[in-house]
Structure 1
Amino acid sequence: MNVFELNNAIKAVQEKDLDPETLKDTLESLELPRNEKLDNVATWIEENNMKLQWLKEKKRQLNDVEFSIKNQTERLQEFLTQTIDDSGKKEIQTENHILKPRNYKDSVIVGATKDLPIDYVIRTETIKPNKTKIYNDLKAGKKVLNAHLEKNRKTVIK
């Protein structure tokens, strides 16, 4: 294989969402010197990390825009309703819309939950594993039903 074919083969692997075994077999089948293959995989990991960081930031930006638009819509809705109420009319017809304020079910606004009388509080219990205790017991050789340790090895890319 020439360099062009190898680069295309690596690009093709990057574009697929392969299961771990297939990915390993595919990477091992590439006819590259070991260090060159490892360098390409490390570069691929760095690119993935950059993409993930970009996506995380984009998601945050989109959440900010969504929050802003929701708030703006609520304020516009309040303005519209208040303006119609101030007119003394039950309905206003414009060129494009029929505007008619409507009463919905009242909203319940609660201050501090801890200050509510006990009759108005629902207690829920969340059960989650104590992973620190499980880890320490498993490391000490104890058996814990439905739990085990799994190797967690990764390579640092600098």
Structure 2
Amino acid sequence: MKLFEINDAIKQIMDKDDLDPIAMKDTLDALELTRDEKLDSLAAVIEKTNSEVTFLKDKIRKLTDQKHFAENRINNLQEYMTGILDEANIKKLQTKNHILKPRNYRDKTIVSDGEKLPQEYKIKEEVVKIDRQKIYQDLKDGKEVAGAHLKPNRKTTIS
């Protein structure tokens, strides 16, 4: 029996006046036990899924850190290798597995202090943000806001 069917059956039994009180109690107890077991199972699934989400968030953070470490390592090794080849004035080096050729790329633009830059080098961007707090308050106060509405947000706490 599904949870909603159990709830409906409990309501129907409660609405009947002609049932024997002992039979009614036994039936309600059986239905409530079934419902409670199913709800307990749902709570266990939610807790397990929350644990998985936490695990995945931690895993993503660790993998992101590993990625940044690997990218920094590549950059440092590239700079080191290029420095060695430049110091030896080598334009091209054939090794057993690779051909190494230092070359010039477009210079990097480094901005050490953005406050000191003249205004001509600054771009003003306008960012439009939605004031959800104001929308919420206006809707709660009974005002109509085109393009927005309140949606009930009910959840069950599990402890």
TM-score normalised by structure 1 residue count? 0.79
Distance 1:120 1:59, change over 3 A: same
- The alignment partner of 1:65 has SS state of helix
Partner of 1:18: none
SS of match in other structure, 1:156: coil
Structure 1 pair 154/91, CA: closer, same or farther in 2 (3 Å)? same
Q: Which has the larger radius of gyration?
A: 2
> Residue 157 in 1 paired to residue 158 in 2?
yes
Residue in structure 1 matched with residue 94 of structure 2 by the alignment: 93
Q: Determine helix, strand or coil for the equivalent of 1:148.
A: coil
Counterpart Cα distance in 1 of 2:139 and 2:101: 66
Tell me the residue number matched to 1:113. Answer: 114
Taking the TM superposition and a 5 Å limit, the aligned residue runs for 1:1-158 are 33-158=34-159
Task: State the Cα distance separating 1:113 from its structure 2 match.
Answer: 2.6
* Pair 1:106–1:37, CA change in 2 (3 A): same
Cα pair distance change 1:66/1:29, threshold 3 Å:
farther
CA distance in 2, matches of 1:27, 1:115: 66
CA pair 74-29 structure 1, distance change in 2 beyond 3 A = farther
The Cα shift of 1:117 comes to 1.2
> CA-to-partner distance for each residue in 1:125-155, whole Å, 9 max, x for gaps?
1111101111111100011110111111111
Aligned residue pair count: 134
3-state DSSP of counterpart to 1:33: helix
What CA deviation, in whole Å up to 9, does each residue of 1:53-88 have, x standing for no partner? 000000010011001000110010001100100111
| AA partner of residue 88 (structure 1) | N
CA contact (8 A) 2:94 2:100 kept: yes
The structural deviation recorded for 1:28 is: 5.3
Structure 1 residues not aligned, in runs of 5+: 2-25
Q: 1:80 to 1:27 in 2, by over 3 A?
A: farther
Identity, in percent, stands at: 46
Task: Give the Cα–Cα distance (whole angstroms) in 1 for the partners of residues 83 and 138 of structure 2.
Answer: 63
* Higher RCO (CA-CA < 8 Å; seq separation 6+): 2
Q: Deviations over 1:16-67 (max 9, x none)?
A: xxxxxxxxxx775899811111001100000110000000000010011001
Superposition CA RMSD, Å: 2.1
